[in-house]
Amino acid sequence: MSGEDVSAGMKSHGRLSIRESRQPRDLLAEPQVRGAWTAQVITLFPEAFPGVLGLSLTGRALAEGLWNLRTTDLRPFGIGKHRNVDDTPAGGGAGMVIRPDVMDAALREAGPGLPVIYLSPRGKPFTQDRARQLANGPGMTLICGRFEGVDQRVLDAHDVEEISIGDYVLTGGELAAQVLIDATVRLIPRVLGNQESLAEESFSDGLLEHPQYTKPALWEGRAIPEVLLSGNHAAIAIWRRDMAERLTKERRPDLWRAYGETRMDPAKDRQLSGASDQSRNYREHQEEPKR
């Protein structure tokens, strides 16, 4: 009934600890790498994990014991013969709401010690800064909602943080949970092969990332910007910074305002505004239908 260790059977490092659980078989299925960052997921669909998290860099890091992944199946905590986990909304309305007693039992089984996060479209937007904060902690417990959500009382009782990954609605929180885990795990030391890449990607310094290019130098009549082939690292750094600022101003005014409050020279802001207008006019001209 308690968490299923998704990394069971994988290579592990360090001393292992086995946590108490309600069923004897779980004692054999729950080895954990002591001290490793842990993602614990409460879900009606534990089979959805690790999913894409078991592939590539995050999957390798999971196998090497750099982080732990546990799932807690919500269904066994359900009420009655059919293990119902939800009921109709108080006050009427469509859909069903996950019961507070059911979620409370699952949270208590998951145990204390980790921040608890509920994936919800009404939550605070997830950011790179929040991912860094979570990566620097011991881990997190994620609640994957379904139906119309979770009874507010259990969220209040457990001081649950609500986080959104965007202004849209999914059928459940499992995909959102994997987004949070991926964004956070990749910040854990040794998970990425090249830690320097973290310093240059989008949001690392409040800006979107500059455009990227690779071989061939000329493709379909489109050339790599000459500065990137010049070997002049100072000029390349300046170009990349300018492009990052230009893209951020054009595509994410919210980020640009926050960036401009502390770092942007007003004269350069006006210069980039003119460049963005020229770029937009050029694209519109290129997209005009030929007659």
Cβ–Cβ < 8 Å for 203, 127: yes
Residue 170 is labelled as binding a ligand = yes
Structure-block tokens of residue 291: 């007659």
> Could you give phi then psi for residue 32, rounded to 5 degrees?
-130, 140
Residue 224 is labelled as binding a ligand = no
Residue 57 is labelled as binding a ligand = no
- Distance between CA atoms of 253 and 186, rounded to whole angstroms? 27
Residue 3 is labelled as binding a ligand = no
Structure-block tokens of residue 242: 């300018």
Residue 165 is labelled as binding a ligand = yes
Maximum separation of any 2 CA atoms in the chain, in Å? 75
Cβ–Cβ < 8 Å for 38, 70: yes
Residue 118 is labelled as binding a ligand = no
- Distance between CA atoms of 82 and 36, rounded to whole angstroms? 37
Cβ–Cβ < 8 Å for 106, 160: no
- Distance between CA atoms of 127 and 138, rounded to whole angstroms? 18
- In sequence order, the 6+-apart residues with CB closer than 8 A to the CB of 213 are 224, 225, 228
Residue 169 is labelled as binding a ligand = yes
- Distance between CA atoms of 140 and 37, rounded to whole angstroms? 8
Short-list 208, 276, 199, CA closest to 248: 208
Annotated binding site: 145, 165-170
Annotated binding site for S-adenosyl-L-methionine: 145, 165-170
